[in-house]
Structures are given as C-alpha cells and as structure tokens.
A and B are shown apart, each in its own frame.
Chain A
Amino acid sequence: MGFACVYIPDFLVQAVVRGQRALGDGALALLGGAPPLWSVAAANPAAFAAGIQLGMTKAQVTQFSNVQICMRSEAQEKSAHAALLDAAWSVSPRVEDIALDTLVLDLEGLSGLFGSDENIAQELARRIAAIGLAARVAVAANIEVAIHAARGFPGITIIPAGEERRRLGALPVGVLTTEAETLEILERWGVETLQALAALPVLQLSERLGQEGVRLSELARGVRQRSLVLAQASLSFAEEMELDDAVEELEPLSFLLGRLLDQLCARLEARALALRALRIQFELQPSFEKDFQTLQEDLRTKPEVKHFEKLLTLPVPMRNAKTLLKLLRLQLQGDPPPAPIQKIYMTADAAAPRVAQNGLFVPSGPDPEKLEVTIARLAKLVGEGNLGCAELLDSHRPESFRMKRFAVANEQSKQSSNKELKTKERSEPRASVTVLRVVRPAQAVRVEMRDGQPVKVYLRGMRGEVIAASGPWRSTGDWWQEDAWHQDEWDLEIEFAASSVVAAQHAAPVLPQQKHDQSQPNRQSGTGPQRGLYRIYYDTLRQEWFLRGVYD
C-alpha cells in the first residue's frame, strides 16, 4: 500500500489542550480575533453539543456556564504542528506537510519494520497520541484518497486498492478542498455525497465548472494521482507558552517548564535525537512603575517588553525531562528572573544521543546525567568558578592553571587515554612526589636575611629558625604586561619554637586562615619544636615576602 494520511480533528482545540491538559475534559470554546471583538474560532464537540456556534461573541459564550473559554494560541498551534511532524518522521522519512492538521506519509518499505498497513496506522496513531494529540489515520494507494478518507472517517481506515470509489462514495462533498462557491453550486444541484459527484459526467461537469470540475470528479472517483512533496526535517526544536497570568514564583514556573520539557523530550524521542543545549527565553511583565506614569508621551508609547534568557549547555546529549528540569531549577534558583514571567520560549539544539554501552574492561564512571545534576548542585554550593577540573597553562607563572568544566570523557578517548597512561606508567615508574599545599591567597611573612640567606621567618606572630634553605630560584615573566611577575623563591625548613607556637596560640603554624585551637595538644608542639618545609618567595615588584605553601 502507498500512503497514510494523518488528520487531527479540531486541531485548534487539541493544540491548546495539549499545552494545558486540565482543559481536556468538558466543553471548550476558543476565542480568536482582535480584542475586544473576540469571537469563537473553534470549539470541541462537547461545546457544539452544548449550543456553541462558530462566530459567537465572547459575551454570548459566557452565557454558557458549562463551557470553558480559552484564547486561541498560535504559538501552541505551531508547537503542536511541529510535534505532529516529528511523530510522523519517526515512522517514515518521507512526509508531506499539507496543512497544520494534515500530513501524508509514504509507507513504501515500512512493512519490514512495522508489518501490515493496519499495524503501521496503529503505530502512527499511538505515537501521535504520545505527543498529546488524537489523530485519524487513513491508508490508501492514492494520496488524495488517503487525505479524504482521513478527513471523513473516524479512527483508522484502510482502503484497499480498487475500492476507492466505493469507500469514498459515502462521504459528503464538504471533505473536498475547493472554493466555497463551488461547494454552494454543488449543493444547489443536490450533490451531497462524493458518490453523487462521481456519477456526474465529466464532460458536462467541465463545461459548467471548468478544470475545477474535472479535478473534483477525479477526486470523488479516487483516481487523481500526484506525487508527494517532501517536507525538510529541521534540527531545531522550539516550544512556546503564553500565560494568561504572569508567574512570579519558582514552584509554578517549574511546573510549566516541566510540561514544556516533557513535550520537547517527546519530540526529540520521536526523532531519535537528544538535547545538547537548551535556550530559554522568558518574556517579562512590563515594570509595575510604568502604570503610574501619567505623562502624555509615556501613555502614547507602549511599555517595552524585557526578556530574560537562560542557556543550559550539556556536556553529553540527554533527553530526560526530569534531569533537565532539575538543572533548570538549580540555574533559576541561583539567578532568578527579575520580574514576573508572561511568556516562555524554549529552543533546543539537537544532537545524536550518547552511546550508553560501556566497555567490558573500562571502569564505570558516574552516570553523566546524575553527574550533571550533582555538578549543578555543587556549583550552587561553592560557586561556578570553584568547581571543575584543573587545566595547566603553558606558562611559568606560579599558579598558572584554569578551571575547566568537568565532564566524563567519552568511551573512545577513555580507552585511548588509558592506553597512553599504561604505556607511560610502564616506561616511567613514579616515586612518591612531595606535594606543595598552596596558601591562597599568598600570605605576607617577615624574613630576616643574613649573608643573602633567610635565617628567621615571622609568620602570624610566630618566630621560626631556618634550619636549611634552598634558593633563591628566580622566575620572571610577562614584563611587558601590567600583571608582570618577578619572584625569588626559597624552600625552607623552619623550626618553630614550642614556646613561640604556644604564645601565638597556634596548633599548627601552617595556614593563615586557620583559627586558633588551644584545646588541641599538638603532638609535636606540645613536646618540642615544630618543624616544617615551606616555600616562601620575595616579590621583587612589591618588595615583600610571601608564604606560597607548605610541603606535605
């Protein structure tokens, strides 16, 4: 069989309900048009049954107590249509976009994946239901037959080849896409069904209605052929929501964001893609103070709409809506929008989903999604710049490193780096390295020199005798810049007298931020002098001595 047509009845209503699930039950009428002349643009069958008619004014609709009223949303219609396209592309790569509510799919070669035409139609309906829309699906050998069958018959319809004319015959002529005048003429002739239209002689029909008559006759007989006009798949995904009342607090905002993320992730899943970056733009409510400005020029100008943006860049592609919502919430808690939000616009950059299969002999690392949430929580705790992995810079400047975003390496690089490391380890056996614990920021110290060597060091009120010294090791650079450095470093073994330590009320003479601890009897200081290995430096530019760190 050739083609399947997907038709969404009451598309305008379904698009709004898709964004606001609570509206799904009961009668619903959508208002459209320019304010204040709002009129009913669409309604669901329950609303029509209650007495609602298209074109009714808002005042008339409000008389119906059991009918909910909602504004038509072009943004949600656009989102729903994009989602419908994504669902169709998840079944067939060849899709024609006919209207907001109608798509046609080429089913050639899909039987190997899904089986019979009925199975394909059922799968299609299921996937469309997953994005929050109820669809009618019709399968036929002819594009136009499939379109008319989908518009005319509820549920799933399969029209075998050769039975097109018979099956379409029962449909009213209203399913044909033609001008209203032509339909009026047909009505005046008493032609109500496609069967009646198909029975009319083509020659006479063409004499009266021209080429349009021939086309309509072919459509009614199910013999009109045409080729599919393919729609181009896009890699950008957008969801939009306009709010009736501005949202100020994070809790209700998270609820709305969660709904948008669910829709976005469902669309990505339909296309077998994942999310690499998420950009959210909030349209903020105009400032409150503007309302009180009574100057004429201010009244004439429309208040300027402000926007607030958030960008979520992910180290690995993911499409777990819950994880994404957690990350967004953490970002918004750290930097909340400055005003209530009246519109949310969400766009996603798609990428191929990550490979989840780990190597058999590769140690398993943290789950990337969980790790990302943990990193976001840690960033909230310690600050964005105080977290990540250190990257050494190609410079001799002390403390020349920068913080890089931490991400678990992908499988290939993991394996290659393992291989490199193991070869390196085999070739160069490492000894235990004396590590420098850095004092940040460097602490000023007083140093007494004799014969060009430091002999005494005064650190936070403690006096230490230098037992051995190594230096000066000079380093200098960037003299052409403002942040030049010129330092003479010394490695010192210092012995702090026990009396000095006690006098200074220090448990350990190491770090400047350390608080005094009188209660702790230091193992060394309690019994005798305390020794330590330190690195100090003389900053030639500032003409001062500093403690860089302690060897440990």
Chain B
Amino acid sequence: MAASSLATLRSKIEADLRGRVASPFAYRDRNAFELVSTGIPEMDALVGGLPRGAMTEICGAPSSGRTSLLLSALASRTAEGEVCALVDARDSFDPLTANAAGIVLEKLLWVRCQNIDQALRAMDLLIQAGGFGMVAVDLSDVPTKTARQVPLNAWFRFRRAIEDTPTILLLLEQEPHAKTCASLVLRLEAGEAKWAETSPRVAPALVRFFSELPGYPFANLLRGFAVRGDVLRSRIQMPQPRVINIRDGTQPRVAVPQNVEHGIFESQTIWRSR
C-alpha cells in the first residue's frame, strides 16, 4: 500500500515537473564535468581543463600571469568556433595582445564596465542569454574589499544559472570570493622575469653613446616570465581512460593528468612568441 502510494506520488511529481525538469529522481553526479583545454598544456596537465557548466576562479597578484591564462583559454574557445564574452570590470582588456594571443576578436563580445555592479549585472544577463562557450569576468582590478562585499547568495545564483549549460564561467580576481560555488580555484604566481641577455646596464657608457643613434642596439628586451599555478580547490573528477586494447584487453598509456602538484608555464611577450 505504502509502496503504491509512493509510486503514485513519484509519478505525480514527475508529471508536474514535465517539461521543466527532465528526470527529477535520477541521480546526477554534479562533479562530473565536461572539460575543455585551457590553451596551456601545463595547466591542462594540472587541472585536466576548464569545466563546462561550472564556475572557475583564477586568482593572483598583479603580474602573476592571470590574464595570460584567461586569454589563452579564450583563444582556445574562439579557435573552436565558440562565441565567448568578456566582462571587463575596469576596462583593461587590450585587443592587440588578445589578437596576438590567438583570440578571434569577432567571436568575443567585450563588455566594458566601469564598476563591479555593472560587471555582475552584465554577467547575469550573459548567463541568462545562454549559448556562450565561455563567459569570462575580469574582476582583478576591483579592490578586494569591494569584491568581498558581493553576497554569497549571488555566487550561488550564478552557479545555479550556469549548471547544465555548456558555458564555462571564468572569474579573474585577486583572491577567491565565490567560496564553495566555484568548482575549480587556481592561484597563479609569477616567477622571474626573463630579459634579453644584452643588458644595457653593464655598459652605460655605450648606451649613452649609442642612444644618439637610431635603433638603440644595446636596449634590453623583455621576453616574458614564468608562471606557477596551484590548485586551491577542485571538484573535478579526473577522467579515466576508456580506451582498451583489443588484443590483450589492457588499457593503453594515455596522457591523463594525475598527481601533478603544480603547473609551471612560460608566458612570452608577443614579439617573442611571434
């Protein structure tokens, strides 16, 4: 009797939610994400990729390589033909370096905001619109004190809105704010800057002499810097290899990232990367 009433109740709930929720009683693993490349193999090896339908936070101090990682991810998505959006909270995006990083600018909707309030509203509108491969929100120039004032329920709402969509929500900040709403939190730190070896400081007299000539042959040259990425939090379950050799039934060696402590990559200036 009890079982039949339970079944009736279940079928009634399913009927009521038809068209809105596909299967309300089916178990859904919320930590199983489709992962896409960050555009940097070292970071892919560290985290497996960026999760779709989830929030990812990249944080770090200025000059830590956050924006380089963001633009690599955007370049990777736009190269696949996906339409992406960048909400720029303090209007600091540089289209020239973005183009050099490989971003297809025609596929990137750039929203130039003036404050965090505009940025959050713009993010909300873009998530509601749907269809974007990635919605990136650059809050890294927003004072930490201001960013911390965003209520946690707002982040929960964003996480809920992005769930079950193919969109990657990427946040760039000085420190993580979304707490448990983020499925992946990365912190980046910059290593030593790399300069061309012919330093003008070793020969100031020569610099003075040659500075009169056009071209400055002894000028130093910035070549980039090393970036170290650490995972602060990750809910991503690393994918298991599903390929099996037909002959012996064993699994072949597939390059699945596991047990990598941190990812180190080199960020190169555009005159060097060319």
A and B bind? yes
Are B90 and A390 neighbours in the complex by a CB distance under 8 Å? no
Q: From B210, which residue of chain A is reached at the shortest CB distance?
A: A452
Least Cβ–Cβ distance between B19 and chain A, in angstroms: 19
Q: Which residues of A contact B35 (CB under 8 A)?
A: none
Are A434 and B208 neighbours in the complex by a CB distance under 8 Å? no
A488-524 toward B: CB 8 Å interface, digit per residue (1/0)? Answer: 0001010000000000000111110111110110111
The B interface is mostly helix, strand or loop, or mixed, namely mixed
Are A425 and B130 neighbours in the complex by a CB distance under 8 Å? no
Are A437 and B145 neighbours in the complex by a CB distance under 8 Å? no
* 8 nearest A-B residue pairs (beta carbon): A366-B131, A390-B95, A374-B129, A386-B112, A552-B67, A433-B101, A470-B220, A532-B63
Are B62 and A552 neighbours in the complex by a CB distance under 8 Å? yes
Interchain residue pairs with CB less than 8 A apart (8):
A382-B118, A387-B109, A390-B95, A417-B106, A432-B68, A470-B219, A507-B144, A531-B63
Q: Which of B20-28, B79-87, B150-158, B178-186 contacts A (4 or more CB under 8 A)?
A: B79-87
Q: Within the complex, which residue of A362, A437, A552 is in contact with B81, where a contact is CB–CB below 8 Å? A: A362
Are B175 and A520 neighbours in the complex by a CB distance under 8 Å? yes
Least Cβ–Cβ distance between B5 and chain A, in angstroms: 43
Q: From B126, which residue of chain A is reached at the shortest CB distance?
A: A374
Q: Which of B6-14, B230-238, B266-274 contacts A (4 or more CB under 8 A)?
A: B266-274
Q: How far is the CA of A539 from the CA of B200 in the complex (A)?
A: 22
The reply on B2 being an interface residue by CB < 8 A is: no
Given A381-B121, A391-B105, A549-B92, answer yes or no on A431-B273 (Cβ-Cβ < 8 Å). Answer: yes
Given A365-B131, A432-B72, A434-B269, answer yes or no on A452-B92 (Cβ-Cβ < 8 Å). Answer: no
Q: How far is the CA of A371 from the CA of B135 in the complex (A)?
A: 14
Q: From A385, which residue of chain B is reached at the shortest CB distance?
A: B112
Q: From A364, which residue of chain B is reached at the shortest CB distance?
A: B131
Q: Which residues of A contact B79 (CB under 8 A)?
A: 421-422, 425
Q: Give the interface residue-count category, chain B.
A: 35 or more
Are A493 and B96 neighbours in the complex by a CB distance under 8 Å? no
Q: Within the complex, which residue of B82, B90, B102, B208 is in contact with A365, where a contact is CB–CB below 8 Å? A: B82
Q: B interface vs A, CB < 8 Å?
A: 39-40, 61-72, 75, 79-83, 90-102, 104-114, 118, 121-122, 125-126, 128-133, 140-141, 143-146, 174-175, 190, 193, 195-196, 199-201, 204, 207-208, 211, 216, 219-222, 224-225, 227, 265-270, 272-273
Q: Give the interface residue-count category, chain A.
A: 35 or more
Q: How far is the CA of A472 from the CA of B220 in the complex (A)?
A: 9
Are A370 and B131 neighbours in the complex by a CB distance under 8 Å? yes
Q: How far is the CA of A114 from the CA of B58 in the complex (A)?
A: 61
The reply on A468 being an interface residue by CB < 8 A is: yes
The reply on A458 being an interface residue by CB < 8 A is: no
Least Cβ–Cβ distance between B44 and chain A, in angstroms: 12
Known pairs A364-B131, A403-B110, A417-B104; list 17 more (Cβ under 8 Å): A377-B125, A409-B107, A417-B81, A430-B75, A431-B273, A432-B265, A433-B71, A433-B267, A433-B269, A436-B94, A468-B195, A507-B144, A508-B62, A510-B62, A515-B145, A515-B146, A552-B64
Q: How far is the CA of A390 from the CA of B111 in the complex (A)?
A: 10
Q: From A398, which residue of chain B is reached at the shortest CB distance?
A: B96
The reply on A71 being an interface residue by CB < 8 A is: no
Q: Which residues of B contact A370 (CB under 8 A)?
A: 129-131
The reply on A169 being an interface residue by CB < 8 A is: no
The A interface is mostly helix, strand or loop, or mixed, namely mixed
Are B273 and A430 neighbours in the complex by a CB distance under 8 Å? yes
The reply on A469 being an interface residue by CB < 8 A is: yes
Q: How far is the CA of A439 from the CA of B216 in the complex (A)?
A: 27
The reply on A550 being an interface residue by CB < 8 A is: yes
Least Cβ–Cβ distance between A392 and chain B, in angstroms: 6
Q: Which residues of B contact A549 (CB under 8 A)?
A: 92, 94
Q: Within the complex, which residue of A378, A408, A469 is in contact with B83, where a contact is CB–CB below 8 Å? A: A408
Q: How far is the CA of A431 from the CA of B269 in the complex (A)?
A: 9
- Of A408, A433, A473, most B-chain CB atoms within 10 Å: A433
Least Cβ–Cβ distance between A444 and chain B, in angstroms: 18
Least Cβ–Cβ distance between B172 and chain A, in angstroms: 9
Given A381-B125, A390-B98, answer yes or no on A452-B208 (Cβ-Cβ < 8 Å). Answer: yes
Given A374-B126, A510-B141, A532-B62, answer yes or no on A434-B174 (Cβ-Cβ < 8 Å). Answer: no
A412-447 toward B: CB 8 Å interface, digit per residue (1/0)? Answer: 001001100110010000111111111110000000
Given A432-B72, A433-B100, A453-B201, answer yes or no on A440-B92 (Cβ-Cβ < 8 Å). Answer: yes
Are A389 and B110 neighbours in the complex by a CB distance under 8 Å? yes
Q: Which residues of A contact B107 (CB under 8 A)?
A: 389, 409
Q: How far is the CA of A435 from the CA of B98 in the complex (A)?
A: 7
